[in-house]
Amino acid sequence: MAKRKYFHSCLNTDSYDRQSFQRLMNISPKLDALEKRGDIIFPGFVNLMGDQWSCLYKATPRLLPETEISETALYHKPLIKKLMESEEYGKLRETTVLDDFSSVLGTMITSEKIIEYIENRKKIDEELKEKLKQQKELQQRLEKLQNSMQNNKKGPTQKQKEKEKALQNELNNLSQQVTQSLADGLPVNQILSQAAQETKETKDSMEELLSGSQPGSGHMEMQKIPLRNQLELAMQLKQYPKIKKVAEWAGRFKRIARKKQKSKNVFSVERQGISLGSDPELLLPTELAQLKNPATRLDFYRRFAEKQTLQYTPLGKEQAGKGPIVLCLDQSGSMNRLKEQAAGFALAIAMIARAQRRDFAYITFDSSIGEVFTFPKGKISTEAIVEMATSFLGGGTNFEKPLSEAIKIIQKTARFKNADIIFVTDGEAEIGEDFLRNYKLQKERLKFQCMGCILGNGSSYINNHLAKVTDELFYAQDLIEAAENSSIFKI
């Protein structure tokens, strides 16, 4: 594979900036695909993308005088100039400055909209279409000539040099005409406004998905995930709008969980005071303020990595209810009405388990068993998040199979001993006497507890078989009611 060339810039970028953008291109298939798509209609689109990213990421980007810019970088300068002069430009930068994730996401969104704008202009502007075609042909002729000159062992001839200069001048003039024409019609305020909104919404959804049991922990949880995986998850959010809705439900459940767990919070900041460390859940508000401020963010990261950030010191016994969790979630056809809510509920528990470093297992079922996930210390991949948010079975209902699978996980994995099983369903299923006898023996031997939740019209389930296998059983119309009125988030 040919080595990618650094982008030509019309801004005050340096070699570090160009290397950084090349690294981003290498880890983001979407960014790379946009560059290839853009280059088809606008030669040198990588240069425009590189400077878009520089505009959004750098603390103080500025346009260079034309005397300090290469001829190649002059092509896209009118577009970058118009972007930077837009009143919406500053609003987008509020979330992107020195932020790897937001700056790349903003670059993707603006690049995609600029490509769409050029493609639409080509459809209705025959003159522009012809000039773009000529520009592409001139670029190809020039590259072919330059390759021929490089391969000439005796060196380029005078005639070749003159021809190269003439082609370069013609290309420069035509490219400047094309770019200025595009810049004049570019709906820059609309593009940047949409980019700012989409970037913020995507980042908010990511933080809703990834946050743990503490408010404001989503940003810190995102930092624990490699940028490549952050961008993959962001693309999934754009591809599957359903995940955004699931993220909203997950955020709502986690807010309920925070209220529930306040009663279990046994540390006292008044008694014990403040210490140095790097526990994101214990950081002082002043430290979080420094994290949000672009001017102090790098210093915060340095001190956090060195365990020198100020945090509250916990006092007293370790919080109760920190054991493993096994969630059995009904995905039968009748649960279709609650499938997004249920996915948000499952992800909320998964993220709380990760934040609290608790082992977590997730079992979906209908009349059979769906995919089974186990997450040691709650460590969950972006692929698993997407799978949990988008998959749904939709068959009948069977209780014995998911309970057997839960027992199997507890049996074969020592760290799942003393686990809490949460069993959620909106249906009814038979539990045989043979299964029940074995279940009770295993329950006594493995020391696990089982909490049952029946959704819907509970009055029709008074004789529910689930009561035979649970230590606690409650009814609720939906999972929000269950979360608010039960002890699910206290285990």
pLDDT(159) > 70: yes
Per-residue pLDDT tens over the stretch 55-103: 999 999 999 998 888 878 888 899 999 999 998 998 899 889 998 899 9
Long-range Cβ contact pairs of 282-285 (< 8 A, separation 24 or more): 282/311, 282/312, 282/313, 282/314, 283/220, 283/309, 283/310, 283/311, 284/310, 284/311, 284/312
pLDDT(174) > 90: no
Ordered by start, the domain boundaries in the chain are: 15-194, 200-312, 325-490
Instruction: Give 346-363 as a DSSP string.
Output: HHHHHHHHHHTT--EEEE
pLDDT(54) > 90: yes
Q: Beginning with the edge strand found earlier in the chain, give each strand of the sheet holding 325-330 in spatial order.
A: 369-375, 360-365, 325-330, 420-425, 449-455, 472-476
SS3 call for 183: helix
pLDDT(104) > 70: yes
Model confidence band, residue 108 (pLDDT cutoffs 50, 70, 90)? very high
Average pLDDT estimate for 320-343? 85
Q: Under a CB-based contact definition with an 8 Å cutoff, are residues 193 and 119 in contact?
A: no
What does each C-alpha distance from 170 to 147, 201, 282 come to in angstroms?
19, 44, 63
User: Which residue would you say has higher pLDDT here, 382 or 331?
Assistant: 331
Dihedral sign from CA coordinates of 240, 242, 243, 245: positive
Residue 153 backbone phi and psi in degrees, to 5: -60, -30
Model confidence band, residue 170 (pLDDT cutoffs 50, 70, 90)? confident
User: Which residue would you say has higher pLDDT here, 282 or 85?
Assistant: 85
Query: Which amino acid is residue 65, in one-letter code?
Result: P
Dihedral sign from CA coordinates of 10, 14, 15, 17: negative
Query: Six-digit token pair at 122?
Result: 């080509």
Q: Under a CB-based contact definition with an 8 Å cutoff, are residues 42 and 74 in contact?
A: no
User: Which residue would you say has higher pLDDT here, 313 or 112?
Assistant: 112
Per-residue pLDDT tens over the stretch 332-365: 998 888 888 898 888 888 888 887 888 899 999 9
pLDDT value at residue 193: 92
Per-residue pLDDT tens over the stretch 351-360: 888 878 888 9
Q: What percent of the chain has pLDDT over 90?
A: 22
Query: Six-digit token pair at 404?
Result: 């057997």
pLDDT(277) > 80: no
- For 229, half-sphere exposure in the C-beta direction (CA atoms, 13 angstrom radius) is 14
Question: Which of 125-134, 137-146, 204-213, 222-231 is predicted least confidently?
Answer: 204-213
Model confidence band, residue 113 (pLDDT cutoffs 50, 70, 90)? very high
Average pLDDT estimate for 297-323? 69
Instruction: Let me know if domain 325-490 sits in CATH 3.30.420.40.
Output: no
If you count them, how many residues does the chain have? 491
Question: Which of 92-101, 218-227, 459-468 is predicted least confidently?
Answer: 459-468
pLDDT(458) > 80: no
Q: How many helices (H) and strands (E) does the chain have?
A: 21, 8
Mean pLDDT of the chain, nearest integer:
82
Q: Determine the distance from the C-alpha atom of residue 177 to the mean position of all C-alpha atoms in its chain, rounded to a whole number.
A: 39
